[in-house]
Amino acid sequence: MSFYEQDHEDYRETVREYVRRYVSPSYDRWEADRLIDREVWRPAGEAGLIGLDVPEAYEGPDLHDWRFRMVVAEELNMAGAASLTIAFAVQDDLVLPYLIDLGTDEQKARWLPGMAAGELIGAIGMTEPGAGSDLQAIRTTAVRDGDDWVLNGQKTFISNGINADLVIVVAKTDPAAGARGISLLVVERGMPGFERGRKLDKLGLHAQDTAELFFTDVRVPATNVLGEIGHGFGYLMQRLPRERLSIAAGGYAGARAALQWTQDYVFERKAFGQRIGDFQNTRFELAEIETEIDVTRAYLEQCVLKLNAGTLTTVEASKAKWWATELEGRATTRLLQLFGGYGFMDEYPISRAFRDSRVQTIYGGTTEIMKEIIGRDIAARYR
């Protein structure tokens, strides 16, 4: 049975048309500007590329099938637009699940329609200069003052940080309570004391607006608290599998795109009187990488179907995340070699993909953290 059905293939054509009209003509400029135009979000909303899970009651597609998200990742990566893949993934796979699952009716009515339409862009503020994988080490605090929470602290490496209209901020509301003292507050654009820092210069994903965020005595209304006070750490742990599967799908899609570009190149270009693709070493490289990609896809498809069914575990998502992102790194490195000197030139998408892929094994939980999660699960079976 095919993983994709006809509805997904029809949707694929919608995504390709969006890419042709709005992404391909502008992507090089976004890379140079180090920023994706906000204007590209609205047509994405109109085409149904973002906000897929937003209920009809809040003007969304109400489409709970993650295979459509995988189609988006595949097509954007095939166009060499990894930065936009990440921007949309932050919206749909990180921010929206919190708002949909934890938001009050008033919060949903206030934020969801704009996010589904591409009028509002979201981000999530977890990482700090001194706290990455260890979320319990965050230092950002929120103190209750009347009907508000006064927020102080800073975040870094925040994807969509410049364009974001609302940021889900992870803060300590009871520093003495450890994991039980962490809460989620939504900070909106224009709140006094909320400032953007640098748009960070990065090795890759140049068009993705990764930023520093600063909060100085920001008064966040109690109506902007997501879920219950003190339950933030649990909320984060519950939603990490989807985030990690999203990154895994991006890794798989990036490797798949790099392989297609390379196959097209080596069977067109000649050296020493024959096509580069006809040399045994080239065929072996292509054979190994295509096999690894196909095997990875089989596992990812299982994970996607489990996510749709609500049964995807943290361990399963961790396996997908570390394997697919490490695969992307290996694949882009080895495939770039087959381009020779042209692989080092930005006119070929493999050059950009080589840079863009490097962060995949780091954010969303490093490869080492993923292995630790899996290893603890294995060890627990023998207790």
**Residues paired with residue 334 on neighbouring β-strands, in sequence order:** none
Contact 159, 123 (CB under 8 A): yes
The verdict on 366 and 243 lying in the same domain is yes
Q: Which residues of the chain have pLDDT under 50?
A: none
Half-sphere exposure of 356 (CA within 13 A, CB side): 27
Domain co-membership, 315 together with 196: no
The verdict on residue 1 lying in a domain is: no
C-alpha angle 247/248/252, rounded to 5°? 120
Q: The domain containing residue 176 runs over which residues?
A: 124-230
Shared domain check, 194 and 135: yes
- Which residues face 214 on adjacent strands? 154, 195
- Say how far apart CA 205 and CA 247 lie, in whole Å: 14
* Annotated catalytic residue within 128, 243, 316, 326: 243
Tell me if residue 13 is catalytic: no
98 within 8 A of 168, measured Cβ to Cβ:
yes
**E-only strand ranges, 200-295:** 211-221, 225-226, 270-271, 274-275
- Is residue 139 one of the residues assigned to a domain? yes
Closest among 186, 221, 242 to 66, alpha carbons compared: 242
Residue 158 belongs to domain with CATH number: 2.40.110.10
**C-alpha angle 3-100-215 in degrees, rounded to nearest 5:** 120
Q: Which residues pair with 166 in a beta bridge?
A: 122, 188
Looking at 179, 205, 230, which one is the last position of a domain?
230
Q: CATH no. for residue 265?
A: 1.20.140.10
Domain-terminating residue out of 72, 92, 120: 120
374 and 241 inside one domain: yes
Rounded to whole angstroms, the Cα distance separating 362 from 14 reads 31
Burial class (CB within 10 angstroms; exposed 0-12, middle 13-18, buried 19+) of 56? exposed
Whether residue 83 is contained in a domain is answered as yes
- Domain for residue 154, yes or no? yes
Q: Rounded distance, CA 290 to CA 329, Å?
A: 14
128/109 same-domain check = no
Residues 22 and 100 both lie in one domain: yes
- Close Cβ partners of 190 (under 8 Å, ≥ 6 residues apart): none
Per-residue confidence (pLDDT) for residue 1, from 0 to 100:
66
Strand-pair category, 122-125 with 166-172: parallel
Place of tokens 């929120």: 142
Cβ-contact 327, 250 below 8 angstroms: no
CA nearest to 120, candidates 72, 178, 51: 51
Quick one: pLDDT at residue 136? 82
The number of distinct structural domains making up the chain is: 3
Distance between CA 273 and CA 262 in Å, rounded?
Answer: 19
Instruction: Indicate whether 135 belongs to any domain.
Output: yes
**Does one domain contain both 184 and 79?**
no
Q: Same structural domain for residues 218 and 132?
A: yes
Residue 243 sits in the same domain as residue 302: yes
The enclosing domain of 52 has a CATH number of 1.10.540.10
Separation of alpha carbons 257 and 260, rounded Å: 5
Retrieve residue 223's tokens.
């109506």
User: Per the structure block, which two tokens stand in for 88?
Assistant: 């949309």
Residue 207 and residue 128 share a domain: yes
Answer yes or no: is 287 within a domain: yes
pTM assigned to the model:
0.96
For the chain, helix, strand, coil in percent to 5 are 60, 15, 25
Task: Judge if 211 and 256 occupy the same domain.
Answer: no
Which of 101, 120, 139 terminates a domain? The answer is: 120
Residue 115 sits in the same domain as residue 58: yes
